[in-house]
Amino acid sequence: MKHYVVLMIAFLMIAPQLANASSSELPTLGDRSSGIVSPDQEYRLGRAWLRQLRAHVPTVEDPLIYDYFEHLLYLLASNSDLTSPNLALAVINSPQINAFAVPGGVIGLNAGLLIHSKAEDEVAAVIAHELAHLSQRHFARGQEYNQRTQWTTAAALLASVVLMATAGSDAGMAALATTQATAIDQQLRFSRNNEREADRVGMQTLVRANMNPQAMPSFFERLLKSSRYSGRVPPEFLLTHPITQSRISDSRNRADAYPLKNNSQNLEFELMRIRTSVAYTREDTSAISELEANLKNSKTANEEVTRYGLSYAYFRANRFQDALKTLEPLLKKRPNRITYQYTKASILMAQNNYQQAMELLEKALAFSPNNYPLSMAYGEALLRNKQPQKALRIVREQQRNKPLLPNPWYLMSECYGKLGNSIGVHESRAEYYYLTGKLEKALEQLNYALALTEDDFQSHARIKNRLKAMQRSKNDLKL
């Protein structure tokens, strides 16, 4: 029963606004669908949807995982049909396979994609497919066909992601089968034509990005086979992206038209894959035992990746000296590898060795300026080492570079706290709450800040304007 309550709360929170979206009175600009749903409307809907998602679904906080997905996303976006990619990424903290695209440039990826993909090209195939849904404006085109139904699609998608990420895939499938029974006839899911078009356009993106087009049909075929023979409910991805043998054959035929190409051999993919696998292992000791055995008996094709996974498993088990000892050969081999530098800094900070972590990160940032994982780790090390002013400067730069990410705001609030700046604390907390979908808490924090700036006209006006902007955002789902 709890699972159904979670679903209905998420759905009812935004369904009324979406269902009441009035028919467009705007003139047609560009394609016909732009007269129904403008790109600006899609943008506002997508950002509002992302905030609601974060309010209900756990997302991955690991800067390395996020950074990896973001780099791959923008590599593919730059080779897609999107004319000016302005994307927002959400990495869902789930070991299941799922991905989705939301109007306005929001791409959602389950961390489990890393675990279940055999090569980076397969992850790229999924992302390219989702980018194609955005570039072809399938949402707006569906809205042109049925102005009301497609708005509820966004609400139902949010509800399904919430349920599957919090209650588990089986419960999510059962609940969605019940709640969406009548909606199937109303085209709640993407049409088969849209899916085929996304496959075709996505494959072109893969080829332009110099990746293997065969990765798309191969991944989909393996996914379909696993769902048929496992005796369990199908993976989440199949719910919103129904895969048939006919669709796989079409995709395979298109891939065959391109020159033969092998899958990419990308070390960073392998490192992120094993890092994610270790993170989702239920018991650290079992992961350690397996990785130790593989490393000792040379049962792995890639000793470097196994060694990194073992170091990370030691770290998670609080065996910090073992983690450092295991990681050291990798740093000697690749001293400028960001993943190794960040991991060592994390271990040092866990040992309260902030000074050494700072020194390591300063050298790393000299080689990789403004890198997100390294900068966030450096900001934290500075803060813990009682240098909040410098930490604030570092983290604020990351906030400017990634304005839709909540984490920089959270760390900034801690910096302001150490500096005794109460206004800065409240403003930063407000932005953090706002980006994580807690609007009432955000407004409360801004009101606290407003009360502290009565004698400062400029600060008072700035905070008051931001307060009004956040209040207006309540209407972002009303299109």
Contact of 402 with 383, CB cutoff 8 Å = no
> Which residue, among 49, 12, 10, has the nearest Cα to 162 in the 3D structure?
10
DSSP 191: P
Find where tokens 């590599």 sit: 75
Question: Helix, strand, or coil here: 472?
Answer: helix
Residue 89 has φ and ψ, to the nearest 5°, of -110, 135
For the question of residue 199 being annotated catalytic, the response is yes
From the centroid of its chain, how far is CA 27? 34
How many residues make up the chain in this entry? 479
Find where tokens 């990765």 sit: 215
Identify the sign of the CA torsion 374, 379, 380, 382: positive
Which of 70, 199, 380, 414 is an active site residue?
199
Find where tokens 């000016």 sit: 84
**Strand residue runs (E) in 106-200:** 106-110
Q: Indicate the burial class of 318 (C-beta count within 10 angstroms; 0-12, 13-18, 19 or more).
A: exposed
From the centroid of its chain, how far is CA 331? 28
Task: Please write down the long-range contacts of 348-351, taking CB distance under 8 Å and 24 or more positions apart.
Answer: 348/324, 349/377, 349/380, 349/381, 349/384, 350/315, 350/318, 350/320, 351/320
DSSP 261: -
Which of 42, 67, 120, 130 is an active site residue?
130
> Which residue, among 410, 406, 332, 340, has the nearest Cα to 368 in the 3D structure?
340
What are the C-alpha distances in Å from 99 to residues 89, 284, 335, 367?
A: 11, 27, 34, 33
The helix-helix angle for 372-384 and 63-77 (nearest 10°) equals: 150
What is the distance between the alpha carbons of residues 154 and 106, in angstroms, rounded to a whole number? 12
> Which residue, among 302, 253, 446, 338, has the nearest Cα to 66 in the 3D structure?
338
Q: Which residues pair with 92 in a beta bridge?
A: 59, 110
> Which residue, among 306, 232, 269, has the nearest Cα to 113 in the 3D structure?
269
Q: Which residues pair with 108 in a beta bridge?
A: 90, 100
Contact of 376 with 408, CB cutoff 8 Å = yes
Q: At 122, which amino acid appears? A: E
**Residues labelled catalytic:** 130, 199
